[in-house]
Structure 1
Amino acid sequence: MYRLVYMSTPKRPLSREDLDAMLAAATRNNNRNGITGILIQDHKRFLQYLEGNEDRVEETFARISLDKRHHAIFRLKSGVIVRRQFPGWSMASKTVDQSGSLTNVVRELVKACDRDVAEELLNFAAARDRAT
């Protein structure tokens, strides 16, 4: 099993409709490709965790990297994992409101994850919270 975590910045604010359409497409593609994961959006950044077959995950990331809706795409972590962390979610999504804490949202989403994965995602979220 392979995972890839990245952050990116939307080029413009996304409406609820924009985000819903993006998530619907991601869900369809991920179901077809055997990819699971989460997408968290705080109106300033996306934090996404993808897991599945390495080639499929890397192809998905390459496609995302070419998407004109966002830029400043940074791979935070990639590599082999022991098991799926989000097996039931072809693409779980959570939007953090303007005054919310990304860390609190991530803490809820990673409750069933392996400790090292949960800590990594929480550390990314905490760093983002400190930067805002």
Structure 2
Amino acid sequence: MLQLIYVSTARNGDAIDLDNILATSRRNNRRDGITGLLHVKGRRFLQALEGDAGKVEAAYARIAGDPRHFALVILSRRSVTAREFGDWAMAADDGSGDVVAQVATLVEGAAPSVRGTFEGFAGLRAA
């Protein structure tokens, strides 16, 4: 099974419709048997995708071709024997502070390096 983690940035001027992103992602990922986590902070996106290598690579190619964002950087591409995220989830930093606890809970079962990536992005770790 492949786990791919990447970051990207939404283009300036484009409205970020998180509800639509979440609905579309859940539909596509359920269809393709992909699990993972999407964390949104401002205009930045950090996502982990897990599943069949061909399906994950196809999902990433679709994401990379989406003109609503740019500067996609793959942080990690590795084989995993078991899913580190039981389902697909999304954590959005809306400024309320609740996202910190949400992300910590969502990454509990992930490898230390994956936890560190998401916790750092969420601002859980001191700089």
TM-score interval, normalised by the smaller of the two chains: 0.7 to 0.9
The two structures have a TM-score, normalised by structure 2, of: 0.82
The one-letter code sitting in structure 1 at the alignment partner of 2:24 is A
- The answer on 1:69 being equivalent to 2:63 is no
Q: 1:103, 1:129 within 8 Å by CA — same for their partners in 2? A: no
**Partner SS for 1:56:** helix
Residues 75 and 114 (structure 1), Cα distance of their counterparts in 2 relative to 1, 3 Å cut:
closer
How many residues align? The count is 125
Matched with 2:49 is: 50
- The answer on 1:112 being equivalent to 2:114 is no
The two structures have a TM-score, normalised by structure 1, of: 0.79
Q: 1:51, 1:57 within 8 Å by CA — same for their partners in 2? A: yes
**Partner SS for 1:26:** helix
Matched with 2:18 is: 19
The one-letter code sitting in structure 2 at the alignment partner of 1:83 is A
Q: How far 1:23 sits from its partner (Å)?
A: 1.3
Q: 1:102, 1:129 within 8 Å by CA — same for their partners in 2? A: no
Deviation per CA, 1:8-52: give whole Å up to 9, x if none: 0011341xxx21112111111111111001110011200000000
Task: Output the CA distance in 1 between the equivalents of 2:126 and 2:18.
Answer: 21
Task: Output the CA distance in 1 between the equivalents of 2:62 and 2:4.
Answer: 14
Q: 1:2, 1:78 within 8 Å by CA — same for their partners in 2? A: yes
Q: How far 1:104 sits from its partner (Å)?
A: 5.6
The unaligned stretches of length 5 or more in structure 2 are none
Task: Output the CA distance in 1 between the equivalents of 2:35 and 2:96.
Answer: 28
Matched with 1:29 is: 28
Matched with 1:92 is: 89
Matched with 1:8 is: 8
Q: 2:91, 2:99 within 8 Å by CA — same for their partners in 1? A: no
Structure number having the greater helix percentage: 1
Residues 22 and 71 (structure 1), Cα distance of their counterparts in 2 relative to 1, 3 Å cut:
same
Identity among equivalent pairs (%): 40
Which aligned segments of 4 or more residues in structure 1 are displaced greater than 6 angstroms? none
Matched with 2:82 is: 83
Q: 1:35, 1:50 within 8 Å by CA — same for their partners in 2? A: yes
